[in-house]
Structure formats: C-alpha cells, structure tokens
Amino acid sequence: MISKSSAPGKVILFGEHAVVYGEPALAMAVDKRCGCEISVSSSRTTVNGHPIREEYHSYILQCLNILEVDNKLKISTESDIPSGAGMGSSAAVSVATIGALRKFLEKGSTEEMIAKDAFNVEFEVQGNASPIDTSTSTHGNAIMVSEKKEKDFLWEIKKDEKSWNIHHRDIPDMDFVIGDTGVHSSTGPLVEKVKKFYRKSNFAREIIQEIGEIVRDGCVLLEEEDLEGVGRLMNKNHRLLSILGVSHPSLEKLIKGARRHSYGAKLTGAGGGGSMIALTDEPNKVAEVIEKKGGTPYVLKSTKKGLTSTNTEEKE
C-alpha cells in the first residue's frame, strides 16, 4: 500500500496580532503545495532516503508520535512552498504527513481529525502555535478563526485554557504576490511589543478592535468578489499594523512599490521584516518591482483545494 497526500500553503490576509486579543483573523490557501508519500520499509523509517532524525525531521517525527506509529515506513516529501516566507511551510508538511499517515493506517481521516492532529504537531515542535495555518492547509478555501461559533462553523480546537473556532469562508479566484524581505524576525518579541502598547493605551485597544472589524468586512467583500474593496482594506489593515509598531523599512519599501500595480498590499504574518502580500491583476509587474527593490517575489493564486489523500496498491 502506498498513501499519498498533498496540502496547500497559506497566507494570512487580515487580522495579524489582533487575533491574540480575541478578534477574528482570516487566512486563505494558496496554490503552492507540499506532498507526502508513505509506504512500508523493510528495515527502518526513512525520510527522503535518510534515517529519520529529530534535528532534520522534527515535524514528521512528531506526526509519528502523535499517531503512535511503530511501523517501519518509507516517507518521501516534496514541497514548492518556500520556508520562512509566510506561507505556512511547516503547517503544510504536518498536514500532508498526518493526512498520508491516517490514510495509510486506516485510522479515519476527516478534515477535523487531521487539522487537530497537525495543530498538536506544530504546538509540540514550536512550544506554542495557532491553528490558523494547519486548519487552512487542511480545509483549503479561506478560514476565519474567532472566539465564538459563527456561520459556516467547521470545528473547534482547544489547548489548555485557549480555544479557537474555525469557520469556512468563500473566496474568489485571486492573484497575489508575496514579497519576502529577507529580514528575519522573531514573532515573540513583536507580540510582546504590541502587548505592552495594548496594556497602556486605549488607542492601541481601539486599533485592535478596528482590525477585527476589517476582518469581518473583508469576509463580506471577498464573498461579493469586490477586489477593489478588499485591496482598500488591506491598505487600511497595514496602516493600523504600522501604528502598532510591527512594520519595518524593508516591508514599507516593497509595499510602496507593489501598490502601484495592485488593489492593495500589506505585511503578512508577524511583521518586523518577513513578508508582504499584494492583491493584483498584474502579478508579473508586481514581482518585477519587488525584485528591483531587493525582495524575493512569489506569484501565487488563491485555491479552494485543501488536503487531498489517496491510497494505491504497490506494484509487485
């Protein structure tokens, strides 16, 4: 038996940082994907021909641990999702591996099971995690995460005292360009920076609430396929994130350049460097501008296609 699976990457469209304070956030699946193939091994468990080792295969090893796998397996992965560019590469690896393992072991493979397993993998490896990336990679389309159950509810994920409600949201076909600044940023200090501002300032709290409103307005505009409106909200969301202090000169340079050929552009993820995203009908022009300004561009499309998994019989 050979089990194969494929899971998409993701981008966060609206709601970074505000989601920490109970506001909703919106992420969508993109057409770059990670694949995983699993079959029986005659000797030991390997990943891409190498013995599985925690320092190189921590996410895959945790997938095996969570599903209590003691079989010797041959695991192969391939991915066109760049690491560290805000596209959820580790989430896609976790989702694809869990999807293939559950199919291989015939343990049941509903979207909810896979999303919860993959979230737990990320949580264990990283020490902390949000289910946004793994739920988006599992479900495809777009997902909105919020504190309460709302329309098109999919599932709830709980960890310790926290809980997240995951909802389906419709998206049209859209073209995006991610611009990776190449500036590495750690999420923790940026979250802490916003927390200090939030605790001492009513203004900061109002900004967080306004970002939450942008998420909800964005969901409506996406459903209506109003790309101009979505772009305006992206610009507004970025301005608010800049006021919170999580932008960076390298991001501003790419965003300013991208906006000349876009409906809108903003940072995506924690900020402080990292990546920006532009919604555009001219992706090649945007990519060219990003490259000229020192960033690495990735042209993407939104996708409705989430995790796919199949079993096939091994040939004798």
User: Catalytic site residues?
Assistant: 133
Local structure of 48: helix, strand or coil = coil
CA distance 25 to 142: 10
The pair phi, psi for residue 273, each rounded to 5°, is 120, -145
CA distance 178 to 1: 38
The pair phi, psi for residue 277, each rounded to 5°, is -135, 140
Tokens of 109: 């493979």
CA distance 186 to 292: 26
Q: Which helix (H) or strand (E) holds 193?
A: helix 187-200
Helices marked H in 14-157 — which ranges? 54-66, 89-105, 111-126, 132-139
Burial of residue 187, with CB atoms counted within 10 A of its CB: 0-12 exposed, 13-18 middle, 19 or more buried: middle
